[in-house]
Amino acid sequence: DTGVSQDPRHKITKRGQNVTFRCDPISEHNRLYWYRQTLGQGPEFLTYFQNEAQLEKSRLLSDRFSAERPKGSFSTLEIQRTEQGDSAMYLCASSPGTSGGARETQYFGPGTRLLVL
């Protein structure tokens, strides 16, 4: 399968705990995006990378959230001191970006559903 993959698919945690999610993009894509989706809403942008550089962060991304893409391949999203309001689906998407083709077209992974108790 050459699509975007995410791990884990589901995560249940207690308030105050830290969680980390992983995203593996389509291999030739140099852009990687993180989104959050709550029930009845469309995906909301959190942050994106071009290769290993984090180029933009949304105001939704509080200081409890951090994302990395250390070698320009997979990315991790960590949430520290989780709160019940963090419960959502966390989606990752990748696009060719500046590497040609339909550079703005984003392909999503299956998401990680987080439940904070």
Q: Stretches 12-20, 61-69, 78-86, 106-114: which one binds other proteins (CB under 8 A)?
A: 106-114
**Least distance in angstroms from the C-beta of 45 to other proteins:** 5
Phi-psi region of 97 (alpha: psi -120 to 50; beta: other; left: phi over 0): left
**Least distance in angstroms from the C-beta of 22 to other proteins:** 15
64-70 contacts, C-beta under 8 A, 24 or more apart: 67/34, 69/32
Q: Stretches 12-20, 33-41, 63-71, 76-84: which one binds other proteins (CB under 8 A)?
A: 33-41
Indicate the pairing of strand 112-116 with strand 10-13.
Answer: parallel
Task: Please give the residues from 45 up to 64 whose contact with other proteins meets the rule CB under 8 A.
Answer: 45, 48, 55-56
- Candidates 2, 14, 27, 42; binder of other proteins (CB under 8 A) is 42
CA distance 99 to 6: 22
